[in-house]
Amino acid sequence: MTAKQQERIEQMLRLNKLSVTETRTKMLEMFLQSKSALEHASFEKLNGKAFDRVTIYRTLQTFLDKGIVHKIPTTDTSVRYALCKSDCKEHEHHDHHIHFQCDNCGSTTCLDGTDVPPIQLPNGFAAKNVEVVVSGVCKECK
Partner DNA sequence: GTAACTGCAAAATATTTGCATCCTT
Partner DNA sequence: AAGGATGCAAATATTTTGCAGTTAC
For 24-53, b/e burial (b = at least 16 CB within 10 A) is bbbbbeebeeeebbbbeebbeeeeeeebee
Which listed residue (15, 46, 105, 130) binds a copy of itself by CB under 8 A?
130
Can you tell me which of 7, 52, 87, 140 binds DNA, judged by CB under 7 A? 52
Q: Is 126 in the site for a copy of itself (CB under 8 A)?
A: yes
Binding to a copy of itself in span 89-108, by CB under 8 A? 98, 100, 103
CB 68 within 8 A of CB 84: yes
Cα–Cα distances in angstroms (integers) from residue 86 to residues 36, 67, 76, 93, 120, in the given order? 17, 9, 28, 10, 28
Residue 131 Cβ, how far from a copy of itself at the closest point, in Å? Answer: 4
Residue 20 contact, options a copy of itself, DNA, none, Cβ 5-8 Å cut-off depending on partner type: DNA
Instruction: Mention every residue, 6+ apart, whose C-beta is less than 8 A from residue 64.
Output: 70, 71, 81
Residue 133 binding: pick among DNA, a copy of itself, none (C-beta 5-8 Å cut-off by kind): a copy of itself
Positions in the binding site for a copy of itself (CB under 8 A) = 71-77, 79, 98, 100, 103, 111, 113-114, 117-139, 142
